[in-house]
């Protein structure tokens, strides 16, 4: 039996994602498709445009058989932490045979070579990396130069790792290696617009779609089933949610934590805390705030992730532990009728507790061999993230706590 | 030379306060009047209706010669902590000869007797207090019963300590005793409406005035000079600020701290943390929230103070230390031309560093024998309180940080 595992955000789901899903299925010919998806906060350091249950529903309507939540501590990390959390979840199921990821290339041989360097960190790799970091390059850039130097004789285009999707792909491969996973990795070439392009082509970028939603423009390139869900969420007053909506809260948190408090958190090194405190003094909206923090070394995405770390008080130890031990539970967000079969199989074979009912969380932990304190911290973070996200809903009457107590979506 | 010291909030200053000032002056016949005033957060656990500098200006226009800020860690405590901080400040100046406080009675002999019991805590007092606390009475009620029992033979009306102004008066007397202060205490009988009455008589209550401001009604019983300042602040977009304005922030903080986090803070005993977390789940505004927390044991004022403790992360140790060592600096908010003379005298004789320029704070500390870490914590709290208060201003362009960097008001 072939089971395809995919890692998604669907923020929102568009025809590019449909293309990816169809192409992956043609490649793997799976019996079932399972997905791991970011919850209410996504890898670009932003709140998702609509709630995770609605996005899970989009996925199910688009052909995913069962969808699981990537714990927030991974979903808002950089490529490496995000990929590790997601791959570890897929691997924990003990049923997934293949993963397929989009990348700018489908040259899996080269990507694998690079991934090996990243995982194995040979001496020469370490030396060069140190050298470039000392020269003041950011970590991603230093790493790219290092890999480029090491593979220069191989006549391969190491510029590939410049693209964000290739970076993620590399990290997926590296995580599979780290976990000694038996899952077969596959890469397919992305079609359509490049990651940050903000025009709506036939195949849009999620960024372009979010912009169109913000500007209340007509949405093209989004499948009908997704569009209906999106419109339902918006008209119910539960969205759309944007980064801007976090401004009041980050202002309050930055003020209260001040530099010393921020420096206790994950990711606040290299003067980031000071920059954030200083930027706050003269910013009247999120955009101004982020621009004032921006340096060559800190991309907007890195800064936005740190905004979330500040809002949620994400401690260094917690992230370190999570990155060492991996996710401690497998949270089911939704499934199709067909998906019930694969769910049963996952439930039997999964190395982590399968959580389909939040109120049984503690009981579920006891049955498996997990790091219980870490599991509780990860889960508590997810619940807080949901409750906080709920407070951002446009309509007051929708701001009800404990949305996570609802049953998984079933279609 | 006679120097009158008064303890005020002026939230806002009204004719009742003028009456108090005039009557006190007639009683003491002082050469100068100095005042200690709560900053931007006041003893009833609320933000002040307008900024502390504006309220200081009101005081100066009304006849106060120099006005100083009660550090926030005292201004938002119960009667005992509030009184101790304020009296300690007045005492530290080493120039104040008299204090006058309003109370429901002017029977200073009885009040002094009660205060002695409170300070000296004789064995029988301790025994009775314990007994009543065990019976489930709140601390203020248990203490009242204890005192009533102990003084029953004296044929004095111990019901006096039921009134909020008498409670404060008692605490002033107790603090003077604790500090072995040479300042002479005087009590004058309050005229006008009782503390919580919400009608505007000739002499209004501050509560009634704030309600009238909220409802945009005509304000009576407020001197012209104060009215002008109040109107200027409101039309500039810096006020009025109400408890309601803190709802979003307390919602966020309660969610993020959750029960465990709240229980680490000052004042969150007796199930208060749980009540607050539970109340939040179904409250859409501050009023609802406070009502849901309310029990017989917790007055609204006590709950509101705890809302502020949660917003500012007020730690138990910090309050305990502050209540042990007292305020560590004397912050000047404003003075009149006349007041310069008394300021010079205070500057010479004061046991605490006199802070008139925030940027010299650290330097000022070195000159006096103060607990520097505590001084810094108290001062940092004041600065945060001001910056946070500034974020509540109605007009975006007025929300500038570091209002505390401005010079003291001089008129």
Considering the four listed CATH numbers 3.30.1220, 3.40.50, 1.10.3470, 3.30.160, the one that applies to the domain covering A3-104+187-242+320-410 is 3.40.50
Q: Among A369, A389, A385, A388, which residue's Cα sits nearest to residue A377?
A: A385
Please answer whether residues A153 and A175 qualify as being in contact, where contact means their C-beta atoms are separated by less than 8 angstroms.
no
Q: Are A248 and B251 in contact (CB < 8 Å)?
A: no
Q: Does B402 touch chain A (CB under 8 A)?
A: yes
Q: pLDDT at position A202, please?
A: 61
pLDDT digits (tens, 9 = 90+) for B170-184: 999 999 999 999 999
Beta strand A66-70 pairing with A32-38: parallel
* Annotated domain spans of chain A: 3-104+187-242+320-410, 243-315
Q: Chain A partners of B259 at a C-beta cutoff of 8 Å?
A: none
CA–CA separation, B203 vs A263, rounded Å? Answer: 51
The beta-carbon neighbor of A388 closest among B255, B284, B402 is B255
Q: pLDDT at position B375, please?
A: 97
Q: pLDDT at position A392, please?
A: 95
Q: Are A258 and B387 in contact (CB < 8 Å)?
A: no
Q: Are A384 and B280 in contact (CB < 8 Å)?
A: no
Please answer whether residues A67 and A60 qualify as being in contact, where contact means their C-beta atoms are separated by less than 8 angstroms.
yes
Give the chain A residue whose CA is nearest to the CA of B391.
Answer: A252
Q: Chain B partners of A396 at a C-beta cutoff of 8 Å?
A: 284
Q: pLDDT at position B90, please?
A: 98
Q: Chain B partners of A312 at a C-beta cutoff of 8 Å?
A: 256
Give the chain B residue whose CA is nearest to the CA of A277.
Answer: B401
Cα atoms found within 13 Å of the Cα of residue A285, Cβ hemisphere only: 5
CA Rg value for chain A: 21
Q: What are phi and psi of B47, to 5 degrees?
A: -70, 145
The beta-carbon neighbor of A248 closest among B248, B258, B380 is B248
Q: Are B255 and A387 in contact (CB < 8 Å)?
A: yes
Cα dihedral: B259, B261, B267, B273 (round 10): -10
Q: Are B384 and A252 in contact (CB < 8 Å)?
A: no
Binned average pLDDT, 10 residues per bin, chain A of 411 residues: 97 93 95 98 97 98 98 96 98 97 80 88 94 88 87 71 76 96 90 45 79 92 95 96 96 95 93 94 93 90 97 97 97 98 96 95 88 97 97 92 93 93
Closest Cα of chain B to A105: distance in Å? 42
Q: Is the pLDDT of residue B200 over 50?
A: no
Q: Chain A partners of B281 at a C-beta cutoff of 8 Å?
A: 400-402
ipTM above 0.95, yes or no: no
Query: Region B304-327: what's the mean pLDDT?
Result: 97
- In eight-state DSSP terms, residue A411 is -
CA–CA separation, B101 vs B94, rounded Å? Answer: 19
Please answer whether residues B146 and B120 qualify as being in contact, where contact means their C-beta atoms are separated by less than 8 angstroms.
no
Q: Chain B partners of A391 at a C-beta cutoff of 8 Å?
A: 251-252, 255
Q: Among A31, A3, A33, which residue's Cα sits nearest to residue A18?
A: A33
CA–CA separation, A268 vs A249, rounded Å? Answer: 18
Q: pLDDT at position B199, please?
A: 42
Burial degree of A159 (CB within 10 A; 0-12, 13-18, 19+): exposed
Q: pLDDT at position A141, please?
A: 83
User: How many Cβ atoms from other residues are within 10 Å of residue A351's Cβ?
Assistant: 14
Q: Is the pLDDT of residue B188 over 90?
A: no
The beta-carbon neighbor of B252 closest among A249, A258, A280 is A249
Q: Which CATH class is domain B3-104+187-241+327-410?
A: alpha beta
Cα torsion angle, A12, A16, A19, A25, sign: negative
pLDDT band at B276 (very low <50, low <70, confident <90, very high): very high
Closest Cα of chain B to A384: distance in Å? 7
% of chain B with per-residue pLDDT over 90: 75
Portion 168-207 of B in contact with A at CB < 8 A = none
Q: pLDDT at position B160, please?
A: 64
The beta-carbon neighbor of B384 closest among A255, A380, A402 is A255
Q: Where are the beta strands (DSSP E) in B174-241?
A: 184-189
Question: What angle separates helix B316-325 from helix B372-391, to the nearest 10 degrees?
Answer: 120
CA–CA separation, B175 vs B89, rounded Å? Answer: 11
The beta-carbon neighbor of B256 closest among A255, A384, A396 is A384
Q: Are B256 and A401 in contact (CB < 8 Å)?
A: no
Q: Chain A partners of B402 at a C-beta cutoff of 8 Å?
A: 281
**CA dist B61 to A318, B149, B213, B233, B409, Å?**
55, 45, 21, 16, 11
CA–CA separation, A168 vs B361, rounded Å? Answer: 50
Closest Cα of chain B to A260: distance in Å? 12
Q: Are A256 and B391 in contact (CB < 8 Å)?
A: no
pLDDT digits (tens, 9 = 90+) for B334-375: 999 999 999 999 999 999 999 999 999 999 998 778 999 999
Q: pLDDT at position B195, please?
A: 44
Q: pLDDT at position A167, please?
A: 84
Q: Does B320 touch chain A (CB under 8 A)?
A: no
Q: Among B45, B23, B3, B30, which residue's Cα sits nearest to residue B11?
A: B45
The pair of structure tokens assigned to B110 is: 């009885």
Global pTM reads: 0.91
Q: Chain B partners of A311 at a C-beta cutoff of 8 Å?
A: 256
Closest Cα of chain B to A281: distance in Å? 6
Quote the mean pLDDT of chain B.
Answer: 91
Q: Does A217 touch chain B (CB under 8 A)?
A: no
Q: Are A255 and B399 in contact (CB < 8 Å)?
A: no
Give the chain B residue whose CA is nearest to the CA of A387.
Answer: B255
Portion 112-141 of A in contact with B at CB < 8 A = none
CA–CA separation, B6 vs A405, rounded Å? Answer: 55
Q: Are B387 and A255 in contact (CB < 8 Å)?
A: yes
What is the residue whose two structure tokens read 């309220």? B55
Q: What are phi and psi of B86, to 5 degrees?
A: -70, -45
User: How many Cβ atoms from other residues are within 10 Å of residue A97's Cβ?
Assistant: 16
Please answer whether residues B16 and B205 qualify as being in contact, where contact means their C-beta atoms are separated by less than 8 angstroms.
yes
Q: Does B309 touch chain A (CB under 8 A)?
A: no
CA–CA separation, A242 vs A248, rounded Å? Answer: 13
Q: pLDDT at position B158, please?
A: 65
CA Rg value for chain B: 21
Q: Does A405 touch chain B (CB under 8 A)?
A: no
Q: pLDDT at position B196, please?
A: 43
Q: How many CB pairs under 8 A join A and B?
A: 46
Q: pLDDT at position B363, please?
A: 92
Q: Is the pLDDT of residue B152 over 50?
A: yes
Q: pLDDT at position A198, please?
A: 40
Query: Region B382-410: what's the mean pLDDT?
Result: 94
């Amino acid at each position: 039996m072939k089971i395809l595992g995919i890692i998604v955000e669907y923020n929102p789901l568009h025809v590019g994602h449909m293309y990816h899903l169809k192409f992956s299925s043609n490649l793997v010919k799976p019996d079932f498709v399972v997905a791991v998806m970011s919850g209410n906060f996504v890898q670009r350091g932003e709140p998702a445009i609509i709630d995770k249950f609605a996005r899970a529903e989009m996925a199910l309507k688009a052909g995913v058989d069962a969808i699981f939540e990537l714990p927030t501590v991974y979903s808002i990390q950089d490529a490496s932490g995000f990929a590790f959390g997601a791959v570890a979840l897929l691997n924990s199921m003990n049923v997934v045979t293949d993963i397929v990821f989009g990348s700018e290339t489908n040259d899996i041989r080269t990507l694998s070579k690079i991934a090996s360097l990243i995982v194995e960190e040979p001496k020469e790799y370490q030396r060069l990396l140190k050298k470039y970091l000392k020269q003041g390059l950011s970590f991603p850039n230093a790493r790219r130069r290092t890999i480029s130097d090491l593979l220069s004789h191989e006549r391969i285009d190491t510029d590939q790792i410049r693209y964000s999707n290739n970076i993620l792909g590399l990290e997926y491969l590296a995580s599979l290696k780290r976990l000694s996973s038996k899952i077969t990795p596959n890469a397919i070439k992305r079609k359509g617009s490049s990651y940050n392009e903000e025009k709506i082509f036939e195949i849009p970028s999620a960024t372009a779609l979010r912009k169109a939603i913000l500007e209340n423009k007509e949405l093209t390139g989004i499948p009908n089933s997704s569009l209906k869900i999106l419109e339902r969420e918006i008209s119910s007053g539960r969205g759309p949610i944007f980064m801007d909506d976090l401004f009041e809260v980050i202002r309050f948190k930055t003020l209260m934590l001040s530099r010393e408090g921020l420096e206790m958190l994950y990711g606040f090194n290299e003067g980031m805390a000071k920059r954030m405190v200083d930027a706050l003094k003269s910013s009247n909206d999120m955009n101004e705030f982020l621009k004032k923090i921006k340096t060559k070394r800190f991309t907007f995405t890195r800064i936005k992730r740190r905004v979330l770390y500040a809002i949620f008080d994400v401690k260094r130890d917690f992230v370190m532990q999570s990155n060492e031990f991996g996710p401690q539970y497998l949270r089911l967000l939704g499934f199709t009728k067909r998906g019930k079969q694969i769910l049963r199989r996952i439930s039997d074979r999964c190395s982590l507790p399968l959580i389909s009912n939040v109120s049984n969380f503690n009981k579920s932990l006891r049955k498996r061999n997990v790091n219980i304190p870490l599991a509780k911290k990860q889960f508590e973070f997810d619940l807080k993230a949901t409750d906080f996200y709920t407070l951002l809903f446009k309509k007051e009457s929708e701001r009800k706590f404990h949305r996570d107590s609802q049953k998984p979506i079933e279609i």
